[in-house]
Structure 1
Amino acid sequence: MAAQVGQWSVPIDFNNVPVHLSLLPTGKILYFGRRDDPKVPVNGTMDQQYTRAFVWEPEQFSWDPAMKMSRAKPNDDKPGRSQPTANQPMNSQNKETVNLFCSGHCFLPDGNLLIVGGHFRDGLGIDQACTYNPWTNKFTPHTPMNGGRWYPSALTLPDGKVMVMSGSVKDNAPYQPNNVSQIWTSDPAKPWEEAISALTAGGPQALALYPRIHLTPTGRVFMCGPNPQSWFLDVKDANGADIKTRIQDGPNVREVTGRWVDAKAPRPGGFRDYTPSVMYNKGLLMYIGGGQDGQRPSNEVAFINLNDNQPQWSQGPNMAKFRRQFNATILPDGTVFVNGGTQGPGFNDLDEFAIHQSELFDPYEKDPATGKLGRWSNMAPETFDRCYHGTSLLLPDGRVLSAGGGEWPGGRPQDCLTLAQFFEPPYLHKPDPRPLITAVPPYTITYSQNFTITLGAADPPVKQVSWIRLGSVTHCRNMNQSFLWLDTFKQSGTSLTIKAPDSPNVSPPGHYMLFVLSAKRIPSIGKIIQILPAIGNKPKRLAGPSGPSQEPTEVTAPTPNIQPSPDQANAHLTALKGYPPPVTIGITPLCPYGLGPCWAGAYEGLSNISDIEVVCPVSNQSDATASVYLTSDITLPDIEKWREEFSRTVNASYKMRGIELTLSGVVAKTGDKLVLVETGREELTLGPFTKESQVRWDNERSAPKGVTKEEMGAYTRLDAEMKKHSGGKFQVQATGTLQKQAAMDGGKFLLEVREFKVLG
């Protein structure tokens, strides 16, 4: 049976919850969690300001090929025991410890792990940047970033630099995604390059947290989620030089790297978060499951071929299970292993909602139902709930380490899992022998180089060679994972000569696991090999689906400040377009971190409302509100229509609480009621502001904010103002909550006045 569905090992106990998990070039594993002691109740200890990181050797609990099982070394009664790192991560002044929980990380060409961002409090990130050296077992702090980043993504580029994108900031605009990406250069003199802001004209405007970013075969950065609209971020021209864009920032002009390009490839399934995307072969990308709070997650899988001239997403085949909060891991035979997740409608529903059944996607087998390539198969069920903060990592011996889970506000101590398991894929249980690599080059290789490895004397002929980048995973995101078949090789006896990848666009410089496979697709134990660019080799953005390869013309693109507040962003839009005051919309997300960190889905939903022309790219976290500008100055927004259109995109992930509008017009009296006329729109009845009128939200209390006496008395003061004006009419600017009255009242609009000022 294990030869068809695989097998799970007995549990082993780690020193902490492995929320962050990385396979090091040494073959060891670095992991760290959220706090020092996950066994205590979830309380104030959740926001500690230091990191306890550990290193573990998989050989302590290795694969026994004779017994066909994972087991501890003889006389080792604690196979999960780990050694702490030689030091704790510190800030750049080496004066204060930092918490690297909720950071992003990927490997540099030299094998050091770059770690960016981290945790101050849920939704608030730190500007920390550090590297971990696998050989010295030490963290080294570096120059801080331009702002905090909580839930950032990091991607190694073809030239060995690293793109760092998104993450929620701590200061200036708290709980807002950092919209200005940066590029880590490893140059002590200038460690950071500023990349083009998402807020720049022509950019995506709203970056989700932990954006799903990948390298294309032409060297572009491709962002495919969680928002359904896909984007390219180009950083190089055809000669390998940085693309520079001039940015007008107030009175100043500065140059930044890169240019955003709309991929014009909407991904089916809408906004889908807490889910993996996987580059499972050269240019072949899959986006798996996921969903939004408040609805059942998806089992849909979307595919895109980035080798095409005009890449577009296609649908299916789909998983058997509906999942979010899960992981997807590329295996040496080119299959993709999926495990964990929840099928509940909440943020992280456990118990009966947790999915223990694992699945395997094989892109080279036909689906019996459709006859097309790409088949999902059920694998053996896992023992534990691997949901939010669960991790999965491929090891060189072909097993998958599954660990973590829990460590979130409101979680139970029993759900904070230090227990890990190994998944032993079906190929480990086949009766056929595994190929054996007995020797690899004792030096680094370079691109397009032929290198020779030695095989076992009794091995069957090699049919395939695979090449997998070392994994570095957290929050459903393996930021370092990629897969490539090395198709050019020649075997002579026990010698196998292989041609290294031709381009760093498909295999950025760094460390990879090399596997050889038999005709029955059974992989060897992998060997870790480092590839570096040849001296003087400058990676180029290749011609092809990227469009013209010549350097683009520099443009001047107006943008707000690097970290604009909501008021600054609105002022910029008003000055740029001459818009009237924006409409304020109250939005409550089901995400536990508030509207700022969970803004991307709401932005997408608001952008799809037909009456809205522009959505301010920065939300107001303190009030849980968004600002929008309308397509028409002569109609009033219909709250019920807006809710309907909004829900088509976001489903139940957000609740639209209400609309606040600012209008200028003439106040008159009809009977005993005040009305607002000559606004350019239809006549509005005016009414008093009450507790139920409040659009603004108190995140701490999970309730509307309190209403002041001045707000509740605004209508009365406006009525008194009428008596001061002869003729009974005067001009005002009134702000308040817009309501649509019932049909029995004519279905007209009512503005509940919160404040006003007399004009003229």
Structure 2
Amino acid sequence: MLSNTITIITLALSIFSFPTSSVAEVTTAIAPIAIDQDGWVITTDSAQPGNEAINALDNDEGTFWHSGYGPDVPLPHNLVVDMGNQYMVNGFSYTPRQDGNINGNIGTHSIDYSLDGNTWTTSAQGTWANDDTVKLVNFQETTCRYVRLTATSEAGNRGPWTSAADISLWYDTSFIAPAPQTKGQWALTIDFPVVPVAVAVVYNTGGILAWSSYDPAAFGGTGQTVTALYDPASASVSKELVTNTNHDMFCPGISMDFNGRIVVTGGDDAAKTSIYTPTSATFSSGSDMNVARGYQSSATLSNGRIFTIGGSWSGGVFQKNGEIYNPSNNVWTRLDGADVTPMLTNDAEGVYRADNHGWLFGWKNGAVFQAGPSKAMNWYTTTNNGGVTAAGTRSDSADAMCGIAVMYDAVAGKIFTAGGSPSYQQAAATTNAYIVTIGNVGAQATTTKAASMSYKRIFHNGVALPNGQILVVGGQEYGSPFTDDSSIMYPEIYTPSTNRWAIMAPMSVPRNYHGTAILMADATVLVGGGGLCAGCSMNHYDGQIFVPPYLFTTTGAKAPRPVINSVSTTNVAAGGSITVNTNSAVTAFSIVRLGTTTHTVNTDQRRIPLTPASAGTNSYRLTIPSDNGVALPGYWMLFAMNSAGVPSISKIIKLTG
């Protein structure tokens, strides 16, 4: 082991851009301060003479630490910092070597902390992109003395080497840790080799497929997409450049078909269709759309087809009516009767923005309900040439571009909407929230104004939780893409049964334009992304796991969770039933369809509460709703909840048509 004691000046953080939030009522400014490195001791498993560990703490990008050369010093490699005293820490940065040589850039890695240097806890894990940009990592605030960076792969797989020009740590003096039993808790940080602008749950592993564009940190290219796959079982992240579909899948429509395949349409390559098959972990080409689109939404229908509409951000600005995809024969068909005009917003930038990001919900008889973002709501039918019927306006709502819509109770036809603004950008967001209730196709929807959010939000995300609550996370007060200005750092949870909001523990990273959030199979939520602007400081290459309050006891301890021991079948048709055996008594069940999301839109996500009937001790019979428009076929997460409202880890089941 090499050990070096060093004395240096306080590290300046001028290379970083940290957000401040301006909501006067409760938002607190984030004030990170570099920890003075004077007296730090750094050790490493090996070092090449001339490139000792001290170089990673000299605040000089012209020098760097490099692991020892040769086959006798294989990966993994590590750097361990002893700060000499205990500090509150919630940030770490790694600067790769800056001499033009990329050998040793760290790929797969973990960041761990310890009070005594013997017992370690992982704060962040993942894979970094193979470039020389500074890697910034935020994680849950913790008190520690030791921090360890472990590299388990070289980013370009060029050899068993690791290098680092500089590392630094910081803390946030304004942060006061909230009680986890009432505010939830931020857990593991996942570092991605891309900005996760789009994410989808993979049914066979419960993992997360994430992608950006042709480049990990920029858009505007063509012909390829950089993707990453997060495996929660190992907390590992792999990276793949997808070129075989000739499709830059930035700003697409996304839908999950009945077989769990992820159908990605349009975007930068505006006519393309790419299909991800989880069992082979590969992309293949679908047929091109008839209309080139970007920023469109799509929705899987009760008959297994996929409907899309709008999308003038890419592929030309004109009237982009609906079309429909049949996965069984790989054919797109125009539906010119599905007129886009009734759903346009009155955006300051015109049609270019007015047909973006429709709030679409597949419903009964192959129809689609459009709940927004326009204040006008509509029914779209998909038989023959298609059609559109007005469904009323969303109460007193204005247009709400880049707001959210969540079907939190499909049995009752309940859709929750919140936030957004009259125009896509350079407009103030709103706190308004509504409950939209739908029934028969073509009938007028009813809208009830819900309690307002605590914060104005645009570019936020909404997640249906297993217990029927809705988590709202991220966003900013004033729509300004590619900035961290006016960031809302506090998530909120809405409870429909009480019409009340609760403010959650604050995030450490802004999640605004190109931020994402998605429900995981263990009932936690992965919140990530933001940015994707070449060379800017707002690129957030990470995600962090949010643990909702329902996973804690009233004393703040981890709550004992019910366990689903078995299910009678993992394939069940609409109207069919399954028997579920648990390890203890439970009082409620729900199923939540696996989600896909980008640009605030998640049309696959929906929740169905299930009423259990006793089938013996800790055994329950559940009946699936009989209409495929409600119980949309595909893959769902089945949760059991006990009398304290604590959900189990889910079992993945498939609803068939």
Please tell me whether residue 296 in structure 1 is matched to residue 445 in structure 2: no
Quote how far apart the aligned CAs of 1:265 are: 2.8
Please tell me whether residue 333 in structure 1 is matched to residue 456 in structure 2: no
How far apart are the structure 1 equivalents of 2:331 and 2:497? 43
Aligned to 1:285: 415
Aligned to 1:403: 528
Percentage identity across aligned positions?
Answer: 26
Counterpart residue identity of residue 480, structure 2: G
What per-residue deviation string (whole Å, max 9, x for no partner) do you get for residues 37-72 of structure 1? Answer: 42xxx6xx74343111121101234xxxxxxxxxxx
Please tell me whether residue 421 in structure 1 is matched to residue 511 in structure 2: no
How far apart are the structure 2 equivalents of 1:130 and 1:349? 30
Aligned to 2:565: 438
Aligned to 1:381: 506
How far apart are the structure 2 equivalents of 1:108 and 1:37? 27
Please tell me whether residue 480 in structure 1 is matched to residue 604 in structure 2: yes
1:512 match: secondary structure = strand
| 1:88 pairs with one of 243, 247, 258 | 243
2:551 match: secondary structure = helix
2:573 match: secondary structure = coil
Quote how far apart the aligned CAs of 1:307 are: 3.4
Aligned to 2:226: 52
Whether contact under 8 Å (1:274, 1:475) holds in the other structure is: yes
| 1:195 pairs with one of 300, 316, 335 | 335
Aligned to 2:260: 111
Counterpart residue identity of residue 54, structure 1: A
Quote how far apart the aligned CAs of 1:132 are: 0.7
1:99 match: secondary structure = coil
1:677-756 matches, cutoff 5 A: none
Whether contact under 8 Å (1:342, 1:349) holds in the other structure is: no
TM-score for the superposition, normalised by structure 2: 0.67
Counterpart residue identity of residue 301, structure 2: L
> Are the structure 2 counterparts of residues 2 and 133 from structure 1 closer, same or farther at C-alpha, using a change threshold of 3 Å?
same
Aligned to 2:379: 232
After alignment, is 468-477 or 161-170 more displaced? 161-170
Whether contact under 8 Å (2:247, 2:274) holds in the other structure is: no
Quote how far apart the aligned CAs of 1:362 are: 0.7
Whether contact under 8 Å (1:325, 1:348) holds in the other structure is: no
TM-score for the superposition, normalised by structure 1: 0.58
Quote how far apart the aligned CAs of 1:268 are: 2.4
2:181 match: secondary structure = helix
After alignment, is 506-515 or 7-16 more displaced? 7-16
1:264 match: secondary structure = strand
How far apart are the structure 1 equivalents of 2:630 and 2:339? 29
Quote how far apart the aligned CAs of 1:106 are: 1.1
Aligned to 2:25: none
Q: Which of the pair has more CA radius of gyration?
A: 1
Please tell me whether residue 495 in structure 1 is matched to residue 619 in structure 2: yes
Q: Which runs of 5+ in 2 are unaligned?
A: 1-178, 346-350
1:150-299 matches, cutoff 5 A: 150-168=294-312, 174-176=316-318, 179-188=320-329, 191-199=331-339, 208-216=355-363, 220-235=367-382, 242=383, 244=384, 256=385, 258-282=386-410, 283-291=413-421, 292=423, 293-299=425-431
Counterpart residue identity of residue 179, structure 1: K
Whether contact under 8 Å (1:56, 1:83) holds in the other structure is: no
> Are the structure 2 counterparts of residues 354 and 169 from structure 1 closer, same or farther at C-alpha, using a change threshold of 3 Å?
closer
2:436 match: secondary structure = strand
After alignment, is 192-201 or 319-328 more displaced? 192-201
After alignment, is 304-313 or 423-432 more displaced? 304-313
> Are the structure 2 counterparts of residues 500 and 316 from structure 1 closer, same or farther at C-alpha, using a change threshold of 3 Å?
closer
Whether contact under 8 Å (1:451, 1:499) holds in the other structure is: yes
Counterpart residue identity of residue 488, structure 2: I
After alignment, is 197-206 or 316-325 more displaced? 197-206
How far apart are the structure 1 equivalents of 2:643 and 2:343? 47
Q: How many residues align?
A: 461
1:290 match: secondary structure = coil
Aligned to 1:131: 275
Whether contact under 8 Å (1:268, 1:302) holds in the other structure is: no
How far apart are the structure 1 equivalents of 2:283 and 2:543? 25
Whether contact under 8 Å (1:469, 1:480) holds in the other structure is: yes
| 1:16 pairs with one of 188, 191, 194 | 194
Quote how far apart the aligned CAs of 1:166 are: 1.5
Whether contact under 8 Å (1:229, 1:267) holds in the other structure is: no
Counterpart residue identity of residue 315, structure 1: K
> Hey, which of these two has a bigger chunk of helix by percent?
1
Aligned to 1:453: 580
Q: Which runs of 5+ in 1 are unaligned?
A: 62-78, 91-96, 121-125, 236-241, 245-255, 366-373, 534-760
Counterpart residue identity of residue 6, structure 1: G
How far apart are the structure 2 equivalents of 1:350 and 1:201? 33
> Are the structure 2 counterparts of residues 218 and 148 from structure 1 closer, same or farther at C-alpha, using a change threshold of 3 Å?
closer
Quote how far apart the aligned CAs of 1:198 are: 4.8
How far apart are the structure 1 equivalents of 2:487 and 2:547? 21
Counterpart residue identity of residue 461, structure 2: N
1:448 match: secondary structure = coil
Counterpart residue identity of residue 47, structure 1: G
| 1:32 pairs with one of 211, 218, 232 | 211
How far apart are the structure 1 equivalents of 2:297 and 2:641? 32
2:537 match: secondary structure = helix
What per-residue deviation string (whole Å, max 9, x for no partner) do you get for residues 660-712 of structure 1? Answer: xxxxxxxxxxxxxxxxxxxxxxxxxxxxxxxxxxxxxxxxxxxxxxxxxxxxx
2:532 match: secondary structure = coil
Quote how far apart the aligned CAs of 1:267 are: 4.2
What per-residue deviation string (whole Å, max 9, x for no partner) do you get for residues 441-468 of structure 1? Answer: 4541111112112211xx1x22111010
Counterpart residue identity of residue 571, structure 2: T
Quote how far apart the aligned CAs of 1:170 are: 5.4
What per-residue deviation string (whole Å, max 9, x for no partner) do you get for residues 538-560 of structure 1? Answer: xxxxxxxxxxxxxxxxxxxxxxx
Whether contact under 8 Å (1:216, 1:306) holds in the other structure is: no
What per-residue deviation string (whole Å, max 9, x for no partner) do you get for residues 595-652 of structure 1? Answer: xxxxxxxxxxxxxxxxxxxxxxxxxxxxxxxxxxxxxxxxxxxxxxxxxxxxxxxxxx
How far apart are the structure 1 equivalents of 2:251 and 2:194? 15
**Once superposed, what is the RMSD of the aligned Cα atoms?**
2.3
Please tell me whether residue 354 in structure 1 is matched to residue 487 in structure 2: yes
> Are the structure 2 counterparts of residues 151 and 310 from structure 1 closer, same or farther at C-alpha, using a change threshold of 3 Å?
closer
> Are the structure 2 counterparts of residues 141 and 284 from structure 1 closer, same or farther at C-alpha, using a change threshold of 3 Å?
same
How far apart are the structure 2 equivalents of 1:280 and 1:200? 26
> Are the structure 2 counterparts of residues 7 and 54 from structure 1 closer, same or farther at C-alpha, using a change threshold of 3 Å?
same
Quote how far apart the aligned CAs of 1:514 are: 0.3
Quote how far apart the aligned CAs of 1:360 are: 0.2
Whether contact under 8 Å (1:343, 1:349) holds in the other structure is: no
> Are the structure 2 counterparts of residues 317 and 443 from structure 1 closer, same or farther at C-alpha, using a change threshold of 3 Å?
closer
Quote how far apart the aligned CAs of 1:199 are: 4.4
Please tell me whether residue 363 in structure 1 is matched to residue 496 in structure 2: yes
1:500-511 matches, cutoff 5 A: 500-511=624-635
What per-residue deviation string (whole Å, max 9, x for no partner) do you get for residues 272-311 of structure 1? Answer: 1111111111211122111133332100112221138642
